[in-house]
Amino acid sequence: MRAFSLLAALAVSATASLAATVQYDFSVEWVQANPDGAYDRSFIGVNGAWPPPPIECNIHDRVIINVTNNLGNEPTAIHFHGLFMNGTNSMDGPVWVTQCPVPSGSNIIYNFTVDQPGTYWYHSHFSGQYPDGFRAPFIVYDRDEPFADAYDVDTYLTVSDYYHNSIPWLSANKFLILTNPTGAEPIPDAGLFNDSQNIKFKVEPNKTYKIRIINMGALVSQYVWFEDHDFQIVEVDGIYVEPAEASMIYITVAQRYTILLTTKNSTDKNYPMVTSFDTDMMDTLPDDLVWNVTGWLTYDENGEFPEPALIDEYDFYDDFNLVPYEKEEPYEPDYSITVDVSMQNLGDGVNYAFFNDLTYVAPNVPTLYTVMSSGNDSTDATVYGSNTHTYVLGYQEVVEIVLNNFDPGKHPFHLHGHVFQVVERSDASPDDETFLTYNPDEPGTINEYPMRRDTVYVRPNGYFVLRFLSNNPGVWFFHCHIEWHLQQGLALTLVEAPAEIQAQQVIPDDHYAACKAGGYAYEGNAAGNTVNLFDLTGEKLQPKPLPAGFTARGIVALVFSCISAFVGMGFITWYGLSDLKTTEREVAAIVGEPLDDSDESK
Amino acid sequence: MVNEVFNVSVFFILFRETVEASIIISVLLAFLKQGIGRSSEDPNLHKKLVRQVWFGAALGLLVCLILGGAFIGAWYGLGKNVWSSSEDIWEGVFSLIAGIIISIMGLALLRVNKMKEKWRVKIARALEKGSGTKSARKFTTKYAMALLPFITVLREGIEAIVFTGGVSLSAPAKAFPLPVICGILAGSAVGYIIYKGGSYMKMQIFLIASTCFLYLVAAGIMSRAVWYFEMYIFAKAVGGDVAETGSGPGSYDIRSSVWHVNCCNPNIDGGWMIFQALFGWQNSATYGSVLMYNIYWIAVMICVVALLYNEKKGHYPFMKPKVNPPASPVALSEPLPSKETESV
């Protein structure tokens, strides 16, 4: 095992000998900042600064990030969104999936190569943490990109929603509680452009800018446009596409769009650029929320900065119609997974999110460590737990995910470790009572060369169909990227080619050390049982369902009440039938008449 | 479509409210007719007291139209749903008051009607003059026959107006007049049957049966009062969403739930509304509402036992026997006019 992986490592390093190594040292700590001018609050920053620095490298580089958690009160972990981590699944980052949370005072090293070009981002993948500020761009430069000669400046632009309070606090006090039975997500307090507001994006005339747009928010999708400037979409989520003319994009959280924007001839005007919340995604729209965030393409710093014009409708480019540069026809699936998305209340009165009838509950041992310690049983999904919703995939198969959305909201779903073909995506259903589900015998629109990316949204009460090739052994998380819904458990686990993971990959010692430092189990099945892998006693399970109908308690109460009523009425009858000697005497005394027993009452 | 001229929800709302009010009024009128109306001594007395009953009802109707109109006006005119934010408190308080009044008057009426006829008349006359020295006491006894119908019609009327107003947001206007009239007529018919039933049944049985029915309704009302107060607390904690969740999960507080079924919601379902009016049915019962129902009946039983004890022994349990018997059963605190005799 070890010898093989050493050999593989030597082989890889030989071919990558021209590639550089990029090294970062991150001290993760709390930093005060005030991005929207409201007030200072604590953010999770890096090396004393917020926002955290972007990571930049060239394609085929090795990236090494030495992370020390100096937060003092929270663990952390970093996920590099969109990177395949081929052969290094342990570097992917989601806690309880590929690693333990790294407790405060401990450190962890992320060491991987990047063999894919484009725009990515990194963020905390510990429960609800990244909207507290721990997120930033991850840019991979590629000299050989198809439009390498088409632009002058390569830059990035981030958009985000912003909460004044931390997500863990909001979750515990406002969101995942029984007095929020409809699961209404908390409303953001503001929106940000490049972690700031009213930004002046300096541009020179007659130049083409390659702008990598990243949505680093927690909830809200954004409409982004540049007034009077059209552009070409050239890359999404690391996949080059045939340039597509557009004037507006719709970017969900975690998605990236790279555009080429050519500036105008003259410097006489500055043009507003806007990122506008998709207000459908918010339960209510508070009066004091500014949900259109403005910046300016600044040609003239001393000029006017006009307010953006009102628009009649959002005319955005539907990413379903993008054509990848490297064209693939739709795969034929070997293995299909169908999941229905719904939100329901469980027995604690709280609203949870479900794939079919399971809401995700984290295991006691990270799923990847269960793979490494389960020997030949690693292909049996049982060992990974009853509530991790794990599917075991074979190696080099085409896997299909059919997702039917039984919720009237839009959801952006993300698959770690892969891009997927978006084979079909339905429209929203016409009304709240109708649901559109996938019917392979009556397929919807399928493009000749389906679009590929790693984060895609499903429409209300609609469905989508994704396909990908399982050529990347690892444990990969598939989940909604709305941070609230992830807290509600809208996730499942794919264990892809576990035997190959065991054969080809090694978990570094410092990763296990982080588990030990936090007192977490790192071997055995989902319950932590290393002896009998099929004994899941002690695993964490979802709350019991709400009682449907009458329980024993209810029947007893109802019967008892009926008995009370009958007995009570019996007493009244008893009273009605009995003599009233005392009362008669009293009345006789008042009215001055003698008691007359011979007078019968009617 | 039938639903374009006849809104079924509106019919059931009006039917339910009218049934509750007419049960109480018709039982009251039947008592008066049997107890005093058959007397040859003073026919005017009967008419006076009957007029009191109708006067109370009419006053209740007038006040509820004014209040209800104000709510609806605020709703549509100002766009503010003043009612719904405090609805559960209003309902709870109204229910509590109505339940207490019915409970007090029920047994008293049963007792009065057991009197010999001539004493009934004298009591009724004393009632009409008003007994007691304190003005509040004097007022309530003099107008006792008006008070119960007033509070009953007021409560039922406001409920009818506000619930109908709530339904009207989703229904065409011409679907309203017909079910309103039919609901009122149907409810009044039930009351009339009860009133007439008194003439055909043996008096004693009729009195006992209608008192039992009255207490059944009162038990339901008291149970509902507690339910409303608990629902108010939960709705305040949740905010606006409780109303939207209908009968399903999230529309009730799981912590205080004794039973919950996702159907048969008396706030929405027509037939179950009637079930609630008669028996206090809730599809989502709380510890509070169930306990109140049972405690109420136990309290009634205790009262009956105490009253019967008094009949046998001349004094209430745990109390010393009175040296001089106190005044009439409907004005117990009056100082004793033992040496005087009332003019006949």
Q: Render A528-552 in DSSP notation, one character per residue.
A: --SS-TT--TT---PPPBPP-B--H
Measured in angstroms, the CA of A173 and the nearest CA of chain B are apart by: 12
Percent of chain A at pLDDT exceeding 70: 93
Tokens matching residue A332: 């034929």
Put simply, whether B317 touches A (Cβ < 8 Å) is: no
To the nearest whole angstrom, how far is the Cα of A600 from the nearest Cα of chain B? 7
Choose the weakest-confidence range: A146-160, A233-247, A544-558. A544-558
How many residues belong to chain A? 602
Each as own residue / partner, the long-range contacts of residues B240-245 (CB below 8 Å, 24 or more positions apart, any chain) are B241/A180, B241/A181, B241/A182, B241/A184, B242/A181, B243/B84, B244/A182, B245/A181, B245/A182
Confidence of residue A469 (pLDDT cuts 50, 70, 90): very high
Q: How far apart are CA B281 and CA B273, in angstroms?
A: 8
Q: Smallest Cβ distance to A557: which of B258, B297, B305?
A: B258
Which range, of A28-42, A77-91, A418-432, B34-48, averages the lowest pLDDT? B34-48
Q: What is the distance between the alpha carbons of residues A572 and A565, in angstroms, rounded to a whole number?
A: 11
More confident residue, B312 or A24: A24
Residues paired with residue A25 on neighbouring β-strands, in sequence order:
A66
A178 shares contact with chain B (CB less than 8 Å): yes
ipTM score for this prediction? 0.74
Largest CA distance in chain A: 125
Range from A373-382, A588-597, B170-179 carrying the lowest mean pLDDT? A588-597
What is the model's pLDDT at position A602?
38
Q: Does B131 have pLDDT greater than 70?
A: no
Q: What contacts A115, CB < 8 A, 6 or more positions away? A: A59, A60, A84, A86
Residues 199-228 of B with CB under 8 A from A: 203-204, 207-208, 211-212, 215-216, 219
Tokens standing for residue A135: 């997120």
Per-position DSSP letters for B33-70, written without gaps between them:
IIIIIT-SS-HHHHHHHHHHHHHHHHHHHHHHHHHHHH
| Closest Cβ opposite residue A601 in set B115, B260, B312 | B115
| Residues of B with Cβ-Cβ distance to A351 under 8 angstroms | 250
Q: Is the pLDDT of residue B108 over 50?
A: yes
Cβ atoms of residues A447 and A382 within 8 Å: no
A595 vs B: CB within 8 A:
no
Stated as kind and residue range, the H or E segment containing A408 is: none
Identify the weakest region by mean pLDDT among A340-344, A551-555, B292-296: A551-555
What b/e readout covers A70-85, taking b as 16+ CB neighbours within 10 angstroms? Answer: bbeebbbbbbbbbbbb
The whole-number pLDDT of residue A600 equals 41
The sign of the torsion formed by the CA atoms of A572, A573, A579, A584 equals positive
Query: Which residues share a beta bridge with A278?
Result: none
Q: Quick one: tokens of A265? A: 């001839």
Span of A299-303, A478-482, B174-178, B179-183 with lowest mean pLDDT: B174-178
Q: Which of the two residues, B271 and B38, has the higher pLDDT score?
A: B271
Q: In chain A, whose CA is at the least distance from the CA of B343?
A: A591
Q: Which two tokens stand for residue B309?
A: 């004890």
Mean pLDDT value across chain B:
75
Set of chain B residues whose Cβ sits within 8 Å of the Cβ of A349: 249-250, 253-255
With an 8 Å Cβ cutoff, is A590 touching chain B?
yes
The 10 Å Cβ neighbour count of residue A32 is 11
Are the beta carbons of B38 and B199 closer than 8 angstroms? Answer: no
Mean pLDDT within A295-306: 94
Query: How far is it, in rounded angstroms, from Cα B334 to Cα B337?
Result: 8
Residue B118 has what pLDDT? Answer: 55
Q: Which of B126, B258, B329 lies nearest to residue A553, judging by beta carbons?
A: B258
Q: What is the pLDDT of residue B242?
A: 65
pLDDT at A583: 65
Q: What's chain A's average pLDDT? A: 92
Closest-CA residue in chain A for B258? A554
Question: Do the strands A491-496 and A390-393 form a parallel or antiparallel pair, or are they unpaired?
Answer: parallel
Distance (Å) from the alpha carbon of A580 to chain B's nearest alpha carbon:
6
Contacts of B313 in chain A (CB under 8 A): 582
Give tens-digit pLDDT for A126-148: 989 999 999 999 999 999 999 99
Who among A548, A582, A596 is closest to B116 (CB)?
A: A596
More confident: A12 or B53: B53
pTM of the model: 0.83
**For chain A, how are helix, strand and coil distributed in percent, rounded to 5?**
20, 35, 50
Please compute the mean of the pLDDT values over residues A121-128 and round it to a whole number. 96
Residues B180-231 pLDDT 10s? 888 889 889 988 887 887 666 666 777 788 788 888 888 988 998 999 899 8
> What is Dmax (Cα atoms) for chain B?
74
pLDDT, position B113:
62
Buried b (16+ CB within 10 A) or exposed e, A141-157: eeeebebeeebeeeebb
A286 interfaces chain B, CB cutoff of 8 Å: no
Res. A212 pLDDT band, cuts 50 70 90? very high
Collapsing DSSP to helix, strand or coil, B340 comes out as coil
In angstroms, what separates the C-alpha of B216 from chain A's closest C-alpha? Answer: 7
CB A465 within 8 A of CB A402: yes
- Within 10 A of A105 (CB to CB), how many other CB atoms are there? 13
- Total count of residues recorded for chain B: 344
- The answer to whether residue B141 scores a pLDDT higher than 80 is no
CB B273 within 8 A of CB B187: no
> Measured between CB atoms, does B316 come within 8 Å of chain A?
no
Assigned token pair, A97: 């999936």
- List Cβ neighbours of B343 (8 Å cut-off, separation of 6 or more): none
pLDDT mean over A270-298: 94
| pLDDT for position B81 | 61
Q: Confirm if A91 and A48 have CB atoms less than 8 A apart.
A: no
Query: What is the mean predicted confidence (pLDDT) over A518-541?
Result: 94
Q: Give the number of A-B residue pairs with CB atoms closer than 8 Å.
A: 183
Is pLDDT larger for residue A25 or for residue B75?
A25
* pLDDT score at A553: 86
Asked whether residue B331 carries a pLDDT value surpassing 50, the answer given is: no
pLDDT at A595 over 60: no
B8-32 and B270-279 helices, crossing angle to 10° = 30
B274: Cα within 13 Å, side-chain hemisphere: 15
pLDDT at B150 over 90: no
Q: Which residue has the higher pLDDT, A589 or A260?
A: A260
Mean pLDDT along residues B242-248: 66
Asked if pLDDT for residue B334 goes beyond 50, the answer is no
Distance CA B160, CA B164 (A): 6
Residue A250 has pLDDT above 70, yes or no: yes
Residue A586: closest CA among chain B residues belongs to which residue?
Answer: B325
Cross-chain Cβ contact B244/A182 below 8 Å = yes
Mean per-residue pLDDT, B59-80? 76
Residues 234-273 of B with CB under 8 A from A: 234, 237-239, 241-242, 244-245, 249-251, 253-255, 258-262
Give the pLDDT of residue B44. 77
CB B323 within 8 A of CB B134: no
Residue type, B279: F
What distance in Å separates the CA atoms of residue A510 and residue A91, rounded to the nearest whole number? 12
Is residue A234 within 8 Å of residue A276, measured between CB atoms? Answer: no
Instruction: Give the tens place of pLDDT for each residue, B272-313.
Output: 877 887 787 888 888 999 999 999 999 999 988 988 888 787
Residue A597's pLDDT band, with cuts at 50, 70 and 90, is: very low
- What proportion of chain A, given as a percentage, has pLDDT over 90? 86
The closest of B41, B237, B18, B64 to B123, measured between CA atoms, is B41
Q: How many CB atoms lie within 10 A of CB B206?
A: 20
DSSP per-residue string spanning B232-252: HHHHHHH-GGGGGGTTSTTSS
Query: Cβ–Cβ contacts within 10 Å for residue A315, how many?
Result: 11
- Subunit contact B212:A586, Cβ cutoff 8 A: no
For position A591, what pLDDT does the model report? 56
pLDDT band for A528, please (50, 70, 90 cuts): very high
DSSP A596: -
DSSP state of A218: S
Q: Does A454 or B25 have the greater pLDDT score?
A: A454
Instruction: Name the helix (H) or strand (E) containing A476.
Output: strand A474-480
Q: Token pair for residue A169?
A: 């606090």
pLDDT band (50, 70, 90) for residue A27: very high
CB nearest to B117's CB, from A548, A590, A601: A601
Q: Strand runs (DSSP E) across chain B, as ranges?
A: 257-260, 284-286
